[in-house]
Amino acid sequence: MREHDLVVIGAGSGNAVIDDSFAGLDVAVVEERWFGGTCLNAGCIPSKMLVYTAHVARTVSEAGTYDVDAELSAVRWRAMRDRVFGRLDAEREEGRRARREADFVTVYEGTARFTGPRELRIEGPDGAVDIKARQIVIAVGGRPSVPPPVLDSALPYETSDTVMRIDAPPRRLAVLGGGYVAAELAEVFAAAGSSVVIVEKEKRLLGPQDETVAERFTELARARHDLRLGREVTAVAGRPGALRLGLDDGSTVEADMLLVAVGRVPNSDRLNLEAAGVATHDDGRIVVDAHQRTTAEGVFALGDVCTPVPLKHVANREAQVVAHNLRHPDDLIEADHELVPAAVFTRPQIASVGATEQECRDRGLDIVVGEARYADVAYGWAMEDTTGFCKVLAERGTGRLLGAHLMGPQAPALIQPLVLAMTLGIDAATLAKSPYWIHPAPTELVENALLDLDLDLWPRA
Ligand SMILES: Cc1cc2nc3c(=O)[nH]c(=O)nc-3n(C[C@H](O)[C@H](O)[C@H](O)COP(=O)(O)OP(=O)(O)OC[C@H]3O[C@@H](n4cnc5c(N)ncnc54)[C@H](O)[C@@H]3O)c2cc1C
Ligand SMILES: NC(=O)c1ccc[n+]([C@@H]2O[C@H](COP(=O)([O-])OP(=O)(O)OC[C@H]3O[C@@H](n4cnc5c(N)ncnc54)[C@H](O)[C@@H]3O)[C@@H](O)[C@H]2O)c1
């Protein structure tokens, strides 16, 4: 049985662990499907490229707002899809080629599962191979979760793994779930001409967001899509291309295509982790300590398979931590999940960091809330924005920033000064008053939200 110094299972974020500093070692990467993982092939990047096109289409449709005469004649789905995936598939193949050519890396293309502590069997197109390793990194990500009524129906459905690559947008798309994937892809398909129905079991879309964001976003989405909130699908009937979803209130939804977007499950259940001595939480995530070490000696994990925050920038950070800790066993560093910002690339865009108002309330914190609207700053006038806002939460008395929530154009970029301040421990008054804020840039929205906080701490003018 061949023994490697290091084996990485999963060439998504796991692939980033290996760089030339490992060149003195005998390293292997195991990948069963696609180099670059979910983000490159079926996640962050294609969804953002498609949603950007959707924004362009909507800008054309709404050009009249700016006294520009323009007419949207079509979104050419196939051309758009081929542009996006032509580029991304080439990136994937380039990544795969580069790994295969690195002389210190062996690439196994197949599915890995443990046969013992730090021992693996890899099943690939050419049969099975058994290997062992001094150290292993598990980076196998997750997969879309599919609820029983959909599986039981044996009727076709799409997930984020497949739906962005289809040949033509459906006339009627039903989306099960009203979270990140639903919000972003509803935008894409609506722009491409589909009528969209969203079935969400909670009362609001994007439920875990700050309550003001979730409420206002849901209201805006209601104007564009058919929302069935507080509802679950009990049965899927009909035939391929003509589906009928039965909901738990007795109502039905007719659709040509069903997109299932009810969350993701970690791929830990496919690894035979008992044989490796690697423990998991009840929800399937691998247990890791702050150094990304699992419960098995010499085995690390990173990304969606273990993290409390399943986002790509978190997986990347965890990959950096693992890479460091593999090289420096006597000087381990930690992954920090305290202040992870997140964005939803819908229209309007959404960005958040830190606590929501409802979390502050539940924790009994004494807070002040500052809010500013795009409509109240000059750049917001230029954008003719009437719905966007920035909300900041700070501790009364100290001005310590606890959370920030934005909805509107460029929100994922606008939140960054707040992320910096919170990460570096800069309080609200100092952030508002010390740096210059460019006029009339959209960042004045953030400045105004900070100034709106009812604090007694403002530095003397
Ligand atoms: C539609 C969509 C949009 C998203 N958009 C964003 C976004 O805008 N911003 C953001 O931060 N996050 C986004 N995410 C989340 C982000 O994609 C994930 O957090 C990130 O890709 C996780 O990386 P990972 O390396 O843990 O897993 P993955 O990227 O899934 O990589 C795991 C790899 O392991 C391989 N593998 C699995 N099992 C085995 C096995 N047994 N043997 C060998 N190989 C195996 C898989 O084929 C895969 O290549 C999005 C996700 C989706 C689905
Ligand atoms: N912009 C981004 O960063 C981005 C974009 C897309 C995906 N992602 C990542 O991918 C993950 C998966 O996205 P997602 O949208 O599938 O999950 P999600 O957790 O964001 O949303 C799932 C939604 O489905 C609902 N739901 C669950 N079961 C249901 C059922 N049986 N019937 C109806 N509704 C049901 C939940 O209440 C929730 O609102 C996200 O959690 C996120 O980590 C990130």
Atom of ligand 1 nearest to the CA of 307: 26
Binding residues for FAD: 48, 304
Contact partners, residue 193, CB within 8 Å, separation at least 6 = 75, 169, 171
Exposed / middle / buried, residue 416 (Cβ in 10 Å: 0-12, 13-18, 19+): middle
Q: Whose CA is nearest to atom 32 of ligand 2?
A: 232
Q: How far apart (Å, rounded) are the C-alpha atoms in residues 123 and 102? A: 22
Atom of ligand 2 nearest to the CA of 199: 33
Verdict on whether the full-model pTM lies above 0.90:
yes
Q: How far apart (Å, rounded) are the C-alpha atoms in residues 177 and 179? A: 6
Residue 419 main-chain phi, psi, to 5 deg:
-65, -45
Looking at the domain that runs over 148-262, which CATH code has it been given? 3.50.50.60
Residue whose C-alpha is closest to residue 11's, from 124, 103, 96, 85: 96
Structure tokens at 378: 């000059």
Residue whose C-alpha is closest to residue 170's, from 199, 200, 197, 193: 193
Is 439 a known active-site residue?
A: yes
Fold match between domain 2-144+265-327 and domain 348-451: no
> Measured in angstroms, how far is the CA atom of residue 305 from the centroid of ligand 1?
9
Domain 348-451, architecture per CATH: 2-Layer Sandwich (3.30)
Query: Which H helix or E strand runs over 233?
Result: strand 233-239
| CB of 158 closer than 6 angstroms to any ligand 1 atom | no
pLDDT tens digit at each of 461 positions of the chain: 999 999 999 999 999 999 999 999 999 999 999 999 999 999 999 999 999 999 999 999 999 999 999 999 999 999 999 999 999 999 999 999 999 999 999 999 999 999 999 999 999 999 999 999 999 999 999 999 999 999 999 999 999 999 999 999 999 999 999 999 999 999 999 999 999 999 999 999 999 999 999 999 999 999 999 999 999 999 999 999 999 999 999 999 999 999 999 999 999 999 999 999 999 999 999 999 999 999 999 999 999 999 999 999 999 999 999 999 999 999 999 999 999 999 999 999 999 999 999 999 999 999 999 999 999 999 999 999 999 999 999 999 999 999 999 999 999 999 999 999 999 999 999 999 999 999 999 999 999 999 999 987 665 55
Angle CA 457–405–220, to nearest 5: 140
Taken in order 390, 391, 392, 397, the sign of the CA dihedral is: positive
Binding residues for NAD(+): 177-184, 200, 263
Q: Whose CA is nearest to atom 13 of ligand 1?
A: 44
> Measured in angstroms, how far is the CA atom of residue 366 from the centroid of ligand 2?
31
Contact 367, 393 (CB under 8 A): yes
Burial pattern 362-374, b for ≥16 Cβ within 10 A else e, equals eeebebbbbebbb
Interface TM-score (ipTM) > 0.90? yes
Q: How far apart (Å, rounded) are the C-alpha atoms in residues 293 and 47? A: 32
Domain map (residue ranges) of the chain: 2-144+265-327, 148-262, 348-451
Structure tokens at 43: 């996640």
CATH 3.50.50.60 fits 2-144+265-327, yes or no: yes
- Polymer length in residues for the chain: 461
